């Protein structure tokens, strides 16, 4: 008999962009209504590069939360060529930072201040390895000669494999993995190397970006790859292997910035992500593994307690696209794939 209702411990989002100011005020509810905690990306402009700036950003997020919300933002440090290992260590010990984020300079939105050469990070990575602070990696090379669809695989060969070899105890998350190569690499490493997987990379391949014309709302970085890669991601997510856990990479941009001659990368999925993940796990006939992927493995990797509280999902009518979010004069569009999603969030019990 097919399952029509599924209750899982309240999930966490191990990779989200909450932005700041007016956009933060609008999008925070979608995350806080579903997830108990989220790893908040630091790619603001200017980036969140110090413990003091992360502490202030956290305060702005908490101030933007609805009064009824039960949600904890977990802050990250944006690594640069000049990151001070002492500030990172003190920030981590003080509970301001949960992790640090490595953007190769120029790889994605607001990454121009990122790292130009991993050699600059030696002291930082030695420190992180010693204090067991997770390193979250945007795994794409920025070499313009490398084809956009190969940038993750080439990064693994050129940068990630040497990095995990050199810092063999470092806790590393290959964020938003999009390739079979990435999945295989993560499998080949010890338990200190893990990956997050987005709902959109489980649901669309690169054809979706071009079906019937160019479709900017399916454009994100790393870009969706060939079907064989999507299938590898689905197998990894549904494997029950604790190295693979939920990270939405929800990345809101205004419609005017997406639907443009040079549109921004990023998919906004905070409100639809859990329905999408449930749809994928249902299609793969492994709904019983959704709780591990969404609510357990990430917390275990980060050494945090698993959540109490319950999220109940229900299968029924096709999920309708939520209305665009109005922000100032602009709008933000929610992610939904072309194929129908028949799951939705039914209820949430915080504790």
At residue 245, what are phi and psi to the nearest 5 degrees?
A: -140, 175
Residue with tokens 């319950």: 310
Considering the complex, what minimum distance in angstroms separates the CB of residue 80 from Zn ion? 17
- In angstroms, how far is CA 19 from the centroid of its own chain? 14
Among 9, 199, 266, 298, binds ligand NCD (CB under 6 A): 266
Considering the complex, what minimum distance in angstroms separates the CB of residue 78 from Zn ion? 12
Instruction: Determine how many CB atoms are found less than 10 A away from the CB of residue 334.
Output: 20
Q: Is 251 in the site for ligand NCD (CB under 6 A)?
A: yes
Write out the E strands in 198-324: 244-246, 310-315
Q: Is 152 in the site for Zn ion (CB under 5 A)?
A: no
Catalytic residue, chosen from 249, 257, 324, 346, is 249
Residues 22-81 that bind Zn ion (CB under 5 A): none
- Nearer to ligand NCD by C-beta: 186 or 251? 251
Among 89, 181, 249, 282, binds Zn ion (CB under 5 A): 249
Lay out the site mask for ligand NCD across 46-85 (x = CB under 6 A, - = otherwise). ----------------------------------------
Considering the complex, what minimum distance in angstroms separates the CB of residue 220 from ligand NCD? 3
- Nearer to Zn ion by C-beta: 39 or 88? 39
Q: Is 217 in the site for ligand NCD (CB under 6 A)?
A: no
- The answer for residues whose C-beta is within 8 angstroms of residue 242's C-beta and 6 or more apart is 191, 194, 292, 296, 297, 300, 301
Q: Is 220 in the site for ligand NCD (CB under 6 A)?
A: yes
In which element (H, E) is residue 293 found?
Answer: none
181 is catalytic: no
State the Cα–Cα distance between residues 266 and 165, nearest whole angstrom: 31
Q: Exposure of 14 by Cβ count < 10 A (0-12 exposed, 13-18 middle, 19+ buried)? A: buried
Q: What are 202's two structure tokens?
A: 């489980």
Residues 279-318 that bind ligand NCD (CB under 6 A): none
- Nearer to ligand NCD by C-beta: 18 or 299? 18
Considering the complex, what minimum distance in angstroms separates the CB of residue 7 from ligand NCD? 30
242-243-247 Cα angle (round to 5): 100
Considering the complex, what minimum distance in angstroms separates the CB of residue 123 from ligand NCD? 25
- Nearer to Zn ion by C-beta: 301 or 343? 301
70-76-82 Cα angle (round to 5): 160
Among 124, 173, 221, 290, binds ligand NCD (CB under 6 A): 221
- Nearer to ligand NCD by C-beta: 26 or 289? 26
Among ligand NCD, Zn ion, none, partner that 173 touches (CB below 5 to 8 angstroms by kind):
none
Residues 128-167 that bind ligand NCD (CB under 6 A): 138
State the Cα–Cα distance between residues 273 and 339, nearest whole angstrom: 14
Q: Is 140 in the site for Zn ion (CB under 5 A)?
A: no
Residues found in the chain = 351
Q: What are 216's two structure tokens?
A: 């900017």
| DSSP assignments along 140-209, one per residue | ----TTS-GGGHHHHHIIIIIHHHHHHSTT--EEETT--SHHHHHHHHHS-TTEEEEE-HHHHH--GGGG
Residues 98-117 that bind ligand NCD (CB under 6 A): 108-109
Residue 137, classed as helix, strand or coil, is strand
Considering the complex, what minimum distance in angstroms separates the CB of residue 111 from Zn ion? 10
Catalytic residues: 249
The residues binding ligand NCD (CB under 6 A) are 17, 43, 108-109, 138, 220-221, 249, 251, 265-266
The residues binding Zn ion (CB under 5 A) are 249
């Amino acid at each position: 008999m097919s399952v029509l209702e599924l209750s899982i411990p309240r999930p966490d989002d191990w990779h989200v962009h909450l932005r700041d100011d007016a956009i933060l005020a609008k999008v925070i509810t979608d995350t806080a209504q579903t997830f108990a905690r989220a790893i908040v990306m630091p790619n603001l402009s200017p980036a969140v590069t110090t413990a003091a700036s992360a502490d202030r950003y956290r305060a702005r997020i908490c101030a933007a939360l609805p009064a009824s919300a039960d949600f904890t933002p977990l802050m990250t440090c944006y690594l640069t060529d000049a990151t001070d290992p002492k500030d990172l260590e003190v920030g981590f010990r003080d509970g301001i930072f949960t992790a640090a984020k490595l953007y190769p300079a120029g790889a994605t939105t607001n990454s121009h201040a990122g790292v130009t050469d991993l050699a600059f990070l030696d002291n930082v990575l030695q420190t992180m390895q010693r204090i067991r602070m997770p390193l979250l990696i945007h795994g794409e090379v920025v070499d313009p000669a490398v084809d956009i669809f190969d940038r993750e695989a080439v990064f693994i060969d050129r940068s990630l494999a040497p990095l995990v070899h050199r810092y063999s105890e470092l806790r590393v998350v290959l964020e938003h993995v999009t390739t079979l190569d990435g999945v295989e690499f993560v499998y080949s490493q010890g338990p200190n190397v893990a990956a997050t997987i987005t709902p959109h990379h489980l649901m669309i391949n690169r054809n979706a970006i071009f079906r019937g014309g160019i479709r900017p709302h399916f454009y994100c970085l790393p870009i969706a790859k060939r079907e064989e890669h999507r299938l590898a991601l689905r197998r990894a997510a549904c494997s029950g292997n604790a190295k693979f856990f939920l990270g939405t990479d929800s990345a809101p941009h205004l419609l005017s910035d997406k639907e443009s001659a040079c549109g921004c990368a990023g998919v906004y999925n905070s409100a639809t992500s859990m329905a999408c993940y449930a749809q994928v796990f249902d299609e793969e006939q492994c709904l019983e593994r959704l709780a591990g992927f969404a609510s357990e493995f990430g917390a275990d990797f980060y050494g945090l307690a698993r959540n109490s509280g319950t999220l109940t999902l229900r299968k029924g009518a096709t999920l309708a696209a939520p209305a665009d979010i109005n922000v100032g004069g602009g709008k933000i569009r929610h992610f939904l794939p072309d194929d129908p999603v028949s799951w939705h969030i039914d209820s949430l019990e915080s504790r």
